[in-house]
């Protein structure tokens, strides 16, 4: 995998890919149309952030590249890569229990907060890619 040229793109399988952790300065792209929604991405080496219709969807610190991102309200899945370990915050449904899977292995359960966010950490580095799934329990 590699960083996403153009900052965000629709994949042939109906998912999104976004983010570029190689930029030294913040890059952003507004009003990317996908599946009837508008997306905004901000990305560089320190942070990658995705908004859907003006609302928070994804954030990583430091910046990452995300491939095959799919979120349906109850579940979120994607592959993520970066040059160092990252903390990722995702938008899900508020006050629900979720199971987190990293590379197919259960990594624990979390309850989303009042704002519908959960946070997880992934071990990355040297362009290593990790598959993440968050499923409503």
Buried b vs exposed e over 63-90: b needs ≥16 C-beta within 10 Å?
Answer: bbbbbbbebeeeebbbbbbbbeebebeb
Question: Can you give the residue ranges of every domain in the chain?
Answer: 8-136
Tell me the average pLDDT across 43-65: 97
If one looks up domain 8-136 in CATH, what number appears? 2.60.40
Tell me what pLDDT residue 128 has.
Answer: 84
Contact call for residues 46 and 61 (beta carbons, < 8 A): yes
pLDDT over threshold 80, residue 64 = yes
Q: What angle do CA 14, 6, 17 make, to 5 degrees?
A: 30
């Amino acid at each position: 995998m590699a960083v996403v040229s153009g900052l965000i793109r629709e994949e042939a399988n109906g998912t999104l890919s976004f983010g570029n952790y190689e930029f030294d300065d913040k890059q952003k792209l507004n009003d990317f149309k996908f599946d009837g929604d508008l997306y905004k991405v901000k990305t560089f080496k320190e942070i990658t952030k995705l908004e859907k219709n003006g609302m928070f969807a994804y954030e990583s610190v430091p910046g990452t590249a995300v491939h095959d991102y799919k979120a349906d309200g109850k579940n979120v899945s994607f592959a993520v890569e970066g040059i160092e370990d990252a903390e990722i915050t995702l938008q899900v449904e508020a006050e629900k229990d979720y199971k987190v899977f990293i590379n197919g292995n259960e990594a624990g359960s979390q309850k989303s907060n009042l704002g519908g966010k959960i946070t997880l950490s992934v071990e990355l580095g040297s362009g290593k890619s990790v598959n993440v799934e968050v499923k409503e329990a």
